[in-house]
Amino acid sequence: MLRGNKVGLRARYEEDIPVLRTELYDDVVNGARAEGRPWRPITPGSKDPRLVVDDNDQGSVPFSVVELDGGTLIGTANLWGIDNHNRTAHIGLGLLPSARGKRYGTDVVAALCHYGFVVRGMRRLQIETLADNHAMLRSAERNGFVREGVLRSSAWVLGEFMDEVLLGLLVEDWKRQPGA
C-alpha cells in the first residue's frame, strides 16, 4: 500500500466496485463532471472499465483510496496515460462525496506524485480539470503543480462547454518541496 499522511492507496478489491459505482458514477452531475464522456447508466455487475482492473493494461494503474485510520474506502486514484519513453503520466482521483473537503484530496495527489516520480521514474506528471473545480486545482497546486494553460471550451458538461485547466509538475520541482 502507498501511504500518505491520512490516506492509503491500495489495490482495488471486488467489494469496492459497487460502492464506487453508486457513489461516484450513478449520480448524473458527479458522473458527467468526472469524465469526458456522456453519462450513461451502468448495469450492476457489468464490467465497468472505469472500475474493473485490467492487469494487462500497462498504461494505467488504478488504486482504491482508504483512510489509514480504520481502512474505510473513500475513493479512487489513478496514474494513467503512462508513457515510459517520454516519462510522462497523468493523475486522476475521485473521492466519495462524504470524504470531500477534509484535505484527503491533497494527500492523494501527494501519494500519486510519490508513485509516479519515485516508484515509476516519471519526469513529468499532468492533470486536466474543469476550470471551476477549485478543490482539484488547489489540491494540485498545494503539491507544486503549476497551471500551464487553459483548454478553452474543451469539455461538454451537461448542456454547456467548459474550459479545462492543464497543470504540470516536473520531478525536479517536486523534489525541491519540503516533505517530498
Ligand X SMILES: CC(C)(COP(=O)(O)OP(=O)(O)OC[C@H]1O[C@@H](n2cnc3c(N)ncnc32)[C@H](O)[C@@H]1OP(=O)(O)O)[C@@H](O)C(=O)NCCC(=O)NCCS
Please report how close the Cβ of residue 51 comes to ligand X at its closest, in angstroms: 14
Query: Would you count residue 139 as binding ligand X (CB under 6 A)?
Result: yes
Contact yes or no for 32/26 (Cβ under 8 A):
no
- 6 lies in the binding site for ligand X (CB under 6 A): no
Q: Is residue 162 within 8 Å of 153, Cβ to Cβ?
A: yes
Of the candidates 101, 146, 153, 177, which one interacts with ligand X according to CB under 6 A?
A: 101
Residue 154 found at the interface with ligand X (CB under 6 A): no
**Nearer CB in complex with ligand X: 28/84:** 28
Shortest distance (Å) from residue 89 CB to ligand X: 14
The helix/strand/coil state of 69 is coil
- 138 lines the binding site for ligand X (CB under 6 A): yes
Residue from 48, 133, 166, 173 touching ligand X (CB under 6 A): that is: 133
Of 121 and 152, nearer to ligand X (C-beta) is: 152
Q: In what order do the strands lie in the sheet with 7-10?
A: 2-3, 7-10, 60-67, 73-83, 88-95, 124-130, 160-170, 146-157
- How many residues belong to the site for ligand X (CB under 6 A)? 20
| Under rule CB under 6 A, residue 36 binds ligand X | no
- The distance of closest approach from Cβ of residue 56 to ligand X in the complex, given in angstroms and rounded to an integer, is 25
Of the candidates 169, 171, 119, 172, the one whose C-alpha atom is nearest the C-alpha of residue 142 is: 169
Measured CA to CA, the distance from residue 107 to residue 114 in angstroms comes to 11
Q: Which span sits near ligand X by CB under 6 A: 9-17, 54-62, 98-106, 145-153? A: 98-106
Residue 37 touching ligand X (CB under 6 A)? no
- The answer to whether 143 touches 111, Cβ cutoff 8 Å, is no
- By CB under 6 A, is residue 105 in contact with ligand X? yes
Q: Which is nearest to 174 in space by CA: 118, 129, 127?
A: 118
